[in-house]
Structure 1
C-alpha cells in the first residue's frame, strides 16, 4: 500500500511568485500533486459555486496552478450537453462546443444508467440522446475544442475519445471528425460513418488520432460528433463524455469536475453521489483509470466546501447522521459520506483502495479573524483526514489573510461578495492550494 504522508522523494521546488512575501521564492508541493512528476494522475473536483464560477473557479485555478509545474497529459471528461446544453465553463483552455443537442433524458435504461443522476443531480454533466427519427445537421457546432494556448499542446500527438451508445435496432449513425478549428481547417481524423445499430445495447468508445505536427503549434483543434457540412447525426444516438489525450506524455495531470453545486453544502454533494447509479460512477472512474495505463492508477478526489455548510439545517448523510447539520461533526460526516460512496465503487469493481487519495479544502477566508464555523470545519477535517490512509487537507486560511486577498484584488467584490473570487483570485489561490 502506498501511503503518502510525506514526500517519497525530494520536494519539487520551482520559482513561484508568492503573494504572501511579494517576491520570487522556492515552493514545495503537496506530495499527492508531486506524483505528477513521475506518472499520470487524475484529479477529480467536487465543490460548491467556487468549483466553477463565471467559467473559472477551482476548475480553472487548480489547473492553472498545476500547469506551472507539470505537463497536462489529458483534458478532463466533458459532456456535450453539459449544464443541460448551456455550458458551465468546465475545462482549462478547452471546452465543449455548441448548444443543447437532442435530450438529456429518455434514453433506453441500459444506456441511461451510464449517466443516471437518480433523484440527486450530479452536475454539470448530462448525456446526449437523439431518439429514432431525430437528427442533427452537419453545420451545427458540437464537440470538444482545445485552444492553441492549452497546456495539452495542440501540436503533439493527440487522441480524441468519444463514448457513445449502440442500439439493437434502427438505422442510427454519426460521423465523428477531428480537425483544425481555424484556417486552414485541416482534417486530423475521419473514420467515416459509424452505425449505432450493432444488434445490442452497449457503451463504446471511438478514438480519433492525430499525429504530431509542429505546424499546429498555437492552433485550435477539436473533435466533433459530425463532419461539418458533410454528415450529421441520425438517431438513435447516445453519448456521455469526450476527452483529449496527449499520447506522447507519460507523466503529468488531468483535472475533471465531477460535481459542481452552487449554493449547496457537502451534504448535497454526498447525496448526489449516493443517488447516482453504480454504473454512472463506474463508467466515469473506469475512463480515468484506463487512460492512465498504469499498473496502479492514482485518482485524487479534491473536495471544496464550507461556506454553505454553515446554514445547512438537515441531518448529515454519513454513518453518524448528525442532527445539527451546520456543526463541524455534520460537516465531517457529510465528507465521510462522499469518501465512502467513492470507496464503495472501488470495492464493487475490485479496484485497489490504494489508488484513491482524498484532499479536503475548506472554503477560503472572508474576514480577519476568520469565521468561527469555518475554523471549526478546518480543525475537524484535519482530524478526519488523518484517519484515511491517503488523506490530505489544504488550509487556505493558513496561507493568506483576508487583508492580503483584498489587497491582491482576489475577492469577486471587496464589499458585496467575498464568498467568490476573481479569475486572478482563483489562479493565485490555486497556486497556494497546491503548495505544501
Structure 2
C-alpha cells in the first residue's frame, strides 16, 4: 500500500503543480501588465530604476523571460517584491502538449512524430497494431515523413565491422548497413522506405507502408559514415514499387571520404513535385544497376514531404515478439545512449527546421506478455518483486519514461517536447483474467497520473464481445489484420475518439 501512496501522491502533485504554475503565470502576467501602467515602469537594470524613482516607489527590470519587480528602499536599495513572466513566457506554457493524446491531436495543425515501443502486436515491418495505427492516423491527419530506418536488408550487406566511434550511432532496432573498405556490392531494389499517399487504406495484411504523398515536393534524408581511409561511394534511388516498376531517379555518386576522420554525415536529395507520381513508391540505398564501393556505412534513411504542413510520422523505437515490457525496457537501457540521442536528434531536427517546437510522442503497448513475466525486480524506483503484477508493469513503464526524459535533459532539450501514451492490450477471447483486469486498473489510474502521460484502454474502444462477433481473433489472443476488424477496428476507434 505504501507504493500506491508514493506513486499517486508524487505524480498527482507534479501534475497539479504544473496546472497551478500555468494558472499563476497567466494571472501574474496580467497583474504585472496592469501594474506596469500604474506605478512600475520598466528599466534596463536596477541602477537605472533606482536613479529614476523615489524611495518607496516600485519599478521593474526585464530579465530573460520574466519581469522582476523592485521597491526602492532607504539607502538606494532595490528590494525584490515579485517576479512575473512575460506574455511570451505565458504563451510558451500553452505551446507544449499536456500529454500524449493532446500531442497527437496537434497533428491537425503541425507535424509530429510517434515513436512506438511494444510487444508482438506492434511490428516494425509487417502486420499488427503499429501498421493499423499508422494508416488510420495518416488518414485522419495526413502524413509528412516516413519513419526513420536504414531500410537495408540486401544479401551481402554487413551488420558489423565499423569502428567504435561509428558504432555509437547504431541502434540495433535499425541495423546499420556496412561494406568493408575495398569491397563492392551490386545494387538491388530489394528494400527501402516505401510509401503511399495519406488516406490510402490497404489490407492490413499487406506489406508495411508509410504515408507520404508521392506527388509532392520530396526530400530524401540519409545519414552515412565518412571515413578517413579508402575511396568509398554509393547512390540512392527511387522507383515505383508496383507494375510497371518505373525508376524515378538515381542520384550521382555520394563519396564516403571524410577529411575529418571517421564520422557521421547527413545528406539529402530533393525531388520536384509531379502529378504523375501516383501509387506506391520506394526510396532505396544502392538501387539496381549501381554498386556500393566500400568503405560504406548507412544508419538512417527518411523521406520528407516538403509540402505537408501537418501530419503524423509513425516510427518504431523498439519491438520484441512474445516479450514483456520488462524485456523491452531492459533492451532499451542496454543501448548506447549516444545512438538513441542521435535518433531523437534527427526527429527533432526536421521539426525544428519547419519553425516549430518539437512534438514527439512515445507510445507503448503491453498487457498480454506481462502475464508470463518471471524476471524481477522491476526496473523502476520501486523494484517490485511480483514480476507479473500490476505494480511491476507500472514501474517498468515509468523506468522507460524516466530513461527517455534523462536523454532529453542530457542534451539540454526541454522535456515538455516529449509526451507519453500507454496502450493497454485488447482483451483476450473469453474476457480478461484477474491479471489483465489489474493492468487496466493501475494504468488508467496511477499510470494516467504520470507526467505528460495518457493511457488508452483498448477494452474501452472495442469489447471482447465485439471482437468475437467480427471474427477478429486468430488464436484466442492475436487479432486479424483485415480492414474493419481486429487491429484495424481498434485503430479506427482510437482515431475516432481523439
> For this structure pair, what is the TM-score category when the shorter chain's length is used for normalisation?
0.7 to 0.9
Which TM-score applies when normalising by structure 1? 0.83
Conservation of the 8 A alpha-carbon contact between 2:394 and 2:447: no
Instruction: Describe the superposition over 1:110-168 as per-residue Cα deviations: whole angstroms up to 9, x where unpaired.
Output: 11111154xxxxx3x21111111221113563433334756411111111111111111
| Partner-residue secondary structure (3-state), 1:136 | strand
Report how many residues are paired.
Answer: 386
Cα separation, 1, equivalents of 2:422 and 2:164: 35
Instruction: Describe the superposition over 1:198-241 as per-residue Cα deviations: whole angstroms up to 9, x where unpaired.
Output: 131111122121111111123x3332322532x31011110112
| Partner-residue secondary structure (3-state), 2:303 | strand
Select the residue among 393, 396, 403 that pairs with 1:341: 403
Cα separation, 2, equivalents of 1:433 and 1:274: 30
Give yes or no for the alignment of 1:360 onto 2:422.
yes
**CA-CA distance at 1:305 after TM superposition:** 0.6
Structure 2 unaligned residues grouped into runs of 5+: 1-92, 201-209
Cα separation, 2, equivalents of 1:140 and 1:310: 42
Select the residue among 33, 36, 58 that pairs with 2:129: 58
Matched residue, 1:272? 331
Select the residue among 162, 171, 177 that pairs with 1:107: 162
Instruction: Describe the superposition over 1:316-343 as per-residue Cα deviations: whole angstroms up to 9, x where unpaired.
Output: 1112111111011111111011101111
**CA-CA distance at 1:80 after TM superposition:** 2.6
Cα separation, 2, equivalents of 1:177 and 1:283: 24
Matched residue, 1:13? none
Closer, same or farther: CA 361–238 of 1 in aligned 2, 3 Å: same
Cα separation, 2, equivalents of 1:140 and 1:208: 18
**CA-CA distance at 1:355 after TM superposition:** 0.5
Matched residue, 2:193? 144
Closer, same or farther: CA 180–423 of 1 in aligned 2, 3 Å: closer
Select the residue among 303, 308, 311 that pairs with 1:244: 303
Matched residue, 2:288? 228
Matched residue, 1:160? 220
Give yes or no for the alignment of 1:317 onto 2:366.
no
Cα separation, 1, equivalents of 2:351 and 2:277: 25
Select the residue among 145, 148, 158 that pairs with 1:74: 145
Closer, same or farther: CA 402–387 of 1 in aligned 2, 3 Å: closer
Which TM-score applies when normalising by structure 2? 0.73
| Partner-residue secondary structure (3-state), 2:362 | strand
Cα separation, 2, equivalents of 1:54 and 1:375: 30
Cα separation, 1, equivalents of 2:426 and 2:398: 21
Closer, same or farther: CA 262–213 of 1 in aligned 2, 3 Å: same
Closer, same or farther: CA 263–167 of 1 in aligned 2, 3 Å: same
Cα separation, 2, equivalents of 1:234 and 1:6: 46
Instruction: Describe the superposition over 1:19-50 as per-residue Cα deviations: whole angstroms up to 9, x where unpaired.
Output: xxxxxxxxxxx433211011111001111000
Conservation of the 8 A alpha-carbon contact between 1:164 and 1:239: yes
| Partner-residue secondary structure (3-state), 2:345 | helix
| Partner-residue secondary structure (3-state), 2:141 | coil
Cα separation, 2, equivalents of 1:145 and 1:271: 31
Conservation of the 8 A alpha-carbon contact between 2:99 and 2:419: no
Cα separation, 2, equivalents of 1:137 and 1:130: 11
Select the residue among 375, 393, 399 that pairs with 1:331: 393
Conservation of the 8 A alpha-carbon contact between 1:189 and 1:209: no
Conservation of the 8 A alpha-carbon contact between 1:72 and 1:254: yes
| Partner-residue secondary structure (3-state), 1:270 | helix
Select the residue among 253, 257, 269 that pairs with 1:208: 269
Closer, same or farther: CA 68–141 of 1 in aligned 2, 3 Å: closer
Closer, same or farther: CA 46–213 of 1 in aligned 2, 3 Å: same
Conservation of the 8 A alpha-carbon contact between 2:238 and 2:249: yes
**CA-CA distance at 1:179 after TM superposition:** 4.2
Give yes or no for the alignment of 1:34 onto 2:95.
no
| Partner-residue secondary structure (3-state), 1:169 | coil
| Partner-residue secondary structure (3-state), 2:140 | coil
Conservation of the 8 A alpha-carbon contact between 1:332 and 1:380: yes
Closer, same or farther: CA 213–56 of 1 in aligned 2, 3 Å: same
Of structures 1 and 2, the one with the larger relative CO (CA 8 A, separation 6+) is: 1
Matched residue, 2:463? 401
**CA-CA distance at 1:78 after TM superposition:** 2.1
Closer, same or farther: CA 65–146 of 1 in aligned 2, 3 Å: closer
Cα separation, 1, equivalents of 2:246 and 2:394: 51
RMSD between aligned residues: 2.2
Closer, same or farther: CA 167–4 of 1 in aligned 2, 3 Å: closer
Matched residue, 2:238? 178
Cα separation, 2, equivalents of 1:157 and 1:409: 42
Larger Rg: 2
| Partner-residue secondary structure (3-state), 2:406 | helix
Structure 1 unaligned residues grouped into runs of 5+: 8-29, 86-98, 118-122
Conservation of the 8 A alpha-carbon contact between 1:177 and 1:224: yes
Closer, same or farther: CA 197–329 of 1 in aligned 2, 3 Å: same
